[in-house]
Amino acid sequence: MLSQYKFWTSLSFRIYNVNEMPELPDVETIKNELSPHVTGHQFTEVEVFQEGAVQELSAQEFSRRLVGQTIGDIGRRGKYMLFRLSGKETLIIHLRMTGVLLLEPSPRPYKHTTAIFRLDGGVNVHFIDQRKLGWLWLVDDESAVTGKLGPEPLEPSFTTATLHNIVNKRNIPIKALLLDQHAIAGIGNMYTDEALFYARIHPLKRANTLSNKEIKLLHEGIMEVLKRGIRNKGASVDTYRLPNGQRGRAQTEFNVAHRRRERCFVCGSPIEWVKIAGRGTCFCPSCQHNDTM
């Protein structure tokens, strides 16, 4: 395999200020793509270059405890990747803003390498993170890290009634609520904008003013845009890449996200931009009319 790193790093610097964090479809894709390469493999060496990334343990203790353990399977909870290990511990990785996990032939670190996980059979997983915001944990109990997350939107238990209960209680803009990981896990800025467009809901509309019909459409929209994102292997508008260095394609099917000032595919109006809960939000002002304002 040829190194994709040079290509990746030059591109990511060019679009550095886009600032989109990997979301559920992106993390799910990394999990799916990484799994066949690492499942059943044993850690032979773990080198941490960015010690602040390791939560609660020292970097030395983290590495020492990982070496010798075998990866049983990889799970996901929200935007957290869960590597379940033979020693009953779980390695948890959160990519935050710019983290990527690349399968790289090189055993040596690159400029922004946070950690290298070397596995038996010559497999090297590089955790590369330009902004150095990513998190690593090694825990006995996953719920100590992921316990407070809201429901998983692609689980069968996430029904229209679940969403109804979540939105009903909150008098905040629906966009802000959907970004709250304690309300629903895994959805972030891009897929929220897409789900709200699907349901034709204005992002500033108060959550507790949504009609039953809007809640039903939003539920449908959340599942649809997340599944479409996974089918397209995530959205590479920023630094997100697959473990082989390739780009995801979800951004090519976005209706509003990252389409500021472009024409709405449905009505032709220019897509508008507004900041909500600190995040740049794109929506169509005529398709997503706010009847509560």
Residues that bind Zn ion (CB under 5 A): 264, 266-267, 269, 284, 287
Catalytic residue among 118, 206, 233, 279: 279
Catalytic residue among 22, 173, 203, 243: 22
Cβ atoms 249, 162 nearer than 8 A: no
Q: Is 23 a catalytic residue?
A: yes
Q: Is 56 a catalytic residue?
A: no
Residue 102 half-sphere exposure, CB side, CA atoms within 13 Å?
A: 32
Q: Is 279 a catalytic residue?
A: yes
Catalytic residue among 20, 23, 104, 194: 23
Catalytic residue among 31, 77, 79, 175: 79
Nearer CB in complex with Zn ion: 269/292: 269
Backbone φ and ψ for 269, nearest 5 degrees, come out as -70, 150
Q: Taking the C-alpha atoms of 18, 21, 27 and 33 in order, what is their torsion angle to the nearest 10 degrees?
A: 30
Nearer CB in complex with Zn ion: 75/270: 270
Nearer CB in complex with Zn ion: 169/289: 289
Q: Is 79 a catalytic residue?
A: yes
Q: Shortest approach of Zn ion to residue 228 CB, angstroms?
A: 19
Nearer CB in complex with Zn ion: 118/175: 175
- End-to-end, the C-alpha distance of the chain in Å comes to 55
Q: Shortest approach of Zn ion to residue 67 CB, angstroms?
A: 54
Q: Shortest approach of Zn ion to residue 264 CB, angstroms?
A: 3
Q: Shortest approach of Zn ion to residue 47 CB, angstroms?
A: 50
Backbone φ and ψ for 165, nearest 5 degrees, come out as -65, -35
DSSP 49-109: S-GGGB-SS-HHHHHHHHTT-BEEEEEEETTEEEEEETTS-EEEEE-TTTEEEEE-S--S-
Active-site positions read 22-23, 79, 279
